[in-house]
């Protein structure tokens, strides 16, 4: 076990997040993770949720599901990808498919051609925001200047999908997502636990998975993210992955800045990036030391 006496609680939790990401295929338990942090199970569970915004179990489940998505992009069988991601059986994946993967493994592997997408636009403190979702999860979450611009962008991104406006009154689940997103923008809900239905390369998924582990209110440089995913020379590739993020906020690419401290890029505009960082810093809760 590491000597943690000089590390803050936040630092310990970050180390455990990295440990989970490197060992998600192992049978990790709360006891194992707590030992990695040098804490009791109760203190670890409470501190982890305070820093990360979800429970250790939820974080591990998310990492495993993203690992599965990455595996499905490789030329191996679906069952092999499932076992490599740490699932004991294919049935465990299908139980979670509607809430985490967004579609069954076979559907995801085929690229979801012809899938139905519903969308709606919201007016938020940061401008017009379009939420687009399949019946499995959010596939696009984007800011823009108008609903027409965002719709054109959505159709370009998913040319083979059946894109239609969300009928009112909105589905209760969709309405809950919208409420959570607005509360997040306003700093009232630090963690967004939204089911995502997105397509990505294996490298993009590695980057996006890492970004979801950056604590609320913190920022890291592109180089730090590259080092964190085990590719220290890939800072530019990390920047491209951030630029291709289709779901603002849910994958918090606004938490990545240049090594000089400058904001760097942001596909939805630097004023929005600055506003998001400032709001998070103003509302973050510091874990006890």
Q: What is the pLDDT of residue 97?
A: 43
**Range from 5-9, 28-32, 217-221 carrying the lowest mean pLDDT:** 5-9
Flag whether pLDDT at 45 surpasses 80: yes
Q: What is the pLDDT of residue 75?
A: 46
9-100 and 202-283: identical CATH topology:
yes
* Domain 202-283 in this protein, CATH class: mainly alpha
Q: What is the pLDDT of residue 93?
A: 46
Mean pLDDT along residues 178-192: 90
Q: What is the CA radius of gyration of the chain?
A: 19
250-284 per-position pLDDT tens digit: 999 999 999 998 999 999 999 999 999 999 999 87
- Distances in Å between the alpha carbon of 132 and those of 35, 142, 211, 228? 41, 9, 21, 30
Provide the Cα torsion 184, 190, 196, 200; round to 10°: 100
CATH number of the 116-185 domain: 3.30.160.70
90-126 per-position pLDDT tens digit: 444 444 444 444 445 554 544 445 678 899 999 999 9
Domain boundaries, the chain: 9-100, 116-185, 202-283
**pTM listed for this prediction:** 0.62
**Residue among 17, 139, 242, 253 flagged as catalytic:** 253
Burial class (CB within 10 angstroms; exposed 0-12, middle 13-18, buried 19+) of 38: middle
Q: What is the pLDDT of residue 288?
A: 41
Contacts of 176 (CB under 8 A, 6+ apart): none
Q: What is the Cα–Cα distance from 201 to 222, expressed in whole angstroms?
A: 18
Contacts of 118 (CB under 8 A, 6+ apart): 132, 133, 134, 164, 165, 166, 167, 174
**Range from 8-12, 30-34, 66-70 carrying the lowest mean pLDDT:** 66-70
Three-state SS for 93?
helix
Mean pLDDT along residues 199-226: 88
Q: What is the pLDDT of residue 145?
A: 93
Mean pLDDT along residues 1-16: 73
Say which residue the tokens 């397509």 belong to.
199
Q: What is the Cα–Cα distance from 122 to 182, expressed in whole angstroms?
A: 9
Q: What is the pLDDT of residue 69?
A: 59
DSSP state of 101: I
Contacts of 21 (CB under 8 A, 6+ apart): 63, 209, 210, 213
Share of the chain above pLDDT 90, in %: 38
Q: Which fold has domain 9-100?
A: Arc Repressor Mutant, subunit A (1.10.10)
CA 105 to chain centre: 19
143-153 per-position pLDDT tens digit: 999 999 999 99
221-249 per-position pLDDT tens digit: 999 999 998 888 889 899 999 999 999 99
Burial class (CB within 10 angstroms; exposed 0-12, middle 13-18, buried 19+) of 89: exposed
**Pairing outcome for strands 138-144 and 220-221:** unpaired
DSSP state of 254: G
CA 279 to chain centre: 19
Mean pLDDT along residues 55-76: 66
Active-site residue, 17 included: no
């Amino acid at each position: 076990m590491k000597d943690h006496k000089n590390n803050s609680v936040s630092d310990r939790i970050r180390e455990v997040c990295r440990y989970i990401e490197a060992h998600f295929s192992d049978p990790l338990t709360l006891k194992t993770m707590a030992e990695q942090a040098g804490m009791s199970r109760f203190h670890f569970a409470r501190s982890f949720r305070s820093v990360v915004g979800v429970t250790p179990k939820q974080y591990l489940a998310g990492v495993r599901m993203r690992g599965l998505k990455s595996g499905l992009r490789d030329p191996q069988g679906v069952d092999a990808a499932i076992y490599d991601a740490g699932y004991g059986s294919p049935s465990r994946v299908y139980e979670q498919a509607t809430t985490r993967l967004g579609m069954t493994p076979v559907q995801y592997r085929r690229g979801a051609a012809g899938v139905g997408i519903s969308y709606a636009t919201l007016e938020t403190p940061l401008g017009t925001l379009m939420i687009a979702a399949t019946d499995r999860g959010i596939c696009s979450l984007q800011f823009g200047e108008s609903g027409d611009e965002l719709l054109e962008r959505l159709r370009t991104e998913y040319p083979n999908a059946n894109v239609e406006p969300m009928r009112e009154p909105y589905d209760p689940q969709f309405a809950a997502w919208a409420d959570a997103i607005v509360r997040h923008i306003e700093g009232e809900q630090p963690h967004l636990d939204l089911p995502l239905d997105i397509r990505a390369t294996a490298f993009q998924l590695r980057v996006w998975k890492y970004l979801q582990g950056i604590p609320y209110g913190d920022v890291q440089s592109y180089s730090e993210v590259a080092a964190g995913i085990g590719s220290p020379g890939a800072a530019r590739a990390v920047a491209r992955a951030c630029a291709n993020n289709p779901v603002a906020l849910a994958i918090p690419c606004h938490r990545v800045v240049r090594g000089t401290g400058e904001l760097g890029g942001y596909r939805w505009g630097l004023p929005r990036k600055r506003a998001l960082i400032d709001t998070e810093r103003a509302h973050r809760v510091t874990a006890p030391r």
